[in-house]
Amino acid sequence: MKKTEINSVEIARLAGVSRSTVSRVINNYANVPPETRRKVMEVIDAYHYVPNLSAQVLAGKGTRTIGLFVIEAGGHVSGDMLTNLLLASVVEHASSRGYYVLTYIIRNTSDAENVRGVKDIFYQRRVDGGIFIGAANEEPFIEELIAEGFAVGVVDQYLPGRNEGNRIVANFDNEHGMRLAVGYLHELGHRDIGIVNGDMNRFSGIDKYNAFLAAMQERGLEVRDAWVRPGSFHEEAGYLAVRELLQEEQRLPTALVMANDSVAFGALRAFQEAGMAVPDDMSVIGFDDHALSARYKPALTTVAIDFRDMMSSLTDYLIGHIEGAEGTAVRYYSQSKLIRRESCRPIGQ
């Protein structure tokens, strides 16, 4: 039924050369004269011949496959519609280098079946490497994989002193981003600034927290503990955090930094419910530049990150590492920029 299976023996016969020659052409050996190469390539093209990947793998080549693991902690898709962008970046960049992407969703990092799926992908299907999105800072099975010698790329996870073996890391530059956010608010005249943070078991949660304190100190602004709200990187968490803030505190900040734009959306909803206007009664700034941020009412001021470039780089580094390139495995990503929209305004006007 399927199209006639053609193999290297057939190609050799049709091109009037030996199978060795066909193999040498395909694998770009040096000692093949141009004329022979052309002749063989012609037959290959004419018959749309593609080497059988399984046979290549069995003969010692890699699978040229990367596992992409999206962790949906607590039922919340990490990054919401961002996931699609990240996925697309990885797939496109990988395929431009001849790699393809096996995608797997991890709903629950402690679910046995889920974890078995991950192991299967590494052991049975022998992907050359894996990329993890949405991982918590401590994820035992990732550490295991690294210890077992697999090449692993991780977004938003890093602790100094950890085994860096085959770990490639891409992170946001939260320090710079937070400096932009706090700095902008300060320039608008705000001094009473709070934050609704993300999960503290995620690197970006910890890092944003520290970066916020640092940025405030740099500007000589006082941090009020009651205005530093714990949270999680999704809409509902932002909603709840703001509701609690409004309930518990008499004195409110004039501006709030949000862990990301999803959190900010939740916050906007809570403010609206409470009858407070953004930005008139409260300035709000987010992180990430979510696809919807420009369309929200009010349009969300945010610190944008070039996710596409970040994922491309991570993919690039990972494939480089797989193919034996040397060099540091860890990379901080540092491009972030402020997008001014409607959700912040100068104080006292």
Partner DNA sequence: TTGAAGAGTAAACACGTGTTTATGATCTTA
Partner DNA sequence: TAAGATCATAAACACGTGTTTACTCTTCAA
Query: 3-class DSSP state for residue 328?
Result: coil
Minimum CB–partner distance for residue 41 and DNA (Å): 13
Q: Choose the binding region for DNA from 8-16, 216-224, 250-258, 304-312 (rule: CB under 7 A).
A: 8-16
Select from DNA, a second copy, none the partner in contact with residue 292, using the beta carbon and a kind-dependent cut-off of 5 to 8 Å: a second copy
Residues 6 or more apart from 188 whose CB is under 8 A from it? 255, 283, 344, 345, 346, 347
Tell me whether residue 253 or residue 286 sits nearer to a second copy (CB atom): 286
What is the smallest separation between the CB atom of 64 and DNA, expressed in angstroms? 11
Question: 41 or 159, CB closer to a second copy?
Answer: 41
Interface positions with a second copy (CB under 8 A): 1-3, 48, 50-55, 57-58, 63, 65, 68, 72, 77, 80-81, 83-84, 87-88, 91-92, 95, 100-105, 107, 117, 120-121, 123-126, 148-150, 235, 265, 269, 272, 291-292, 295, 297
Nearest-angstrom CA–CA distance, 208 and 39: 60
Q: How many CA atoms lie within 13 A of 113 on its CB side?
A: 2
Provide the strand spans (E) within the chain.
65-71, 100-106, 129-133, 151-155, 167-171, 193-196, 228-229, 255-258, 283-288, 301-305, 330-332, 336-339
Sign of CA dihedral 153, 89, 115, 231: positive
88 binds, among a second copy, DNA, none (CB under 5 to 8 A by kind): a second copy
Contacts of DNA in 57-76 (CB under 7 A): 58-61
Structure tokens at 230: 């714990």
Establish if 36 lies at the interface with DNA (CB under 7 A).
yes
Helix, strand, coil percentages, rounded to 5, for the chain:
45, 15, 40
Which CB atom, from 21 or from 65, has the smaller least distance to DNA?
Answer: 21
Residue 23 interacting with DNA (CB under 7 A): yes
**Residue 124 binds what, of a second copy, DNA, none (CB under 5 to 8 Å, by partner type)?**
a second copy
Please tell me whether residue 34 adopts helix, strand or coil conformation: helix
DSSP code of 131?
A: E
Residue 322 as a binder of DNA (CB under 7 A): the answer is: no
9 lies in the binding site for DNA (CB under 7 A): yes
Alpha-carbon distance 330 to 68, whole Å? 19
Which CB sits closer to DNA, 126 or 297? 126
277 versus 291: smaller Cβ distance to a second copy: 291
Which residues make up the interface to DNA (CB under 7 A)?
Answer: 5, 7-9, 16-21, 23-24, 26-27, 31-33, 35-36, 49, 51-52, 55-56, 58-61
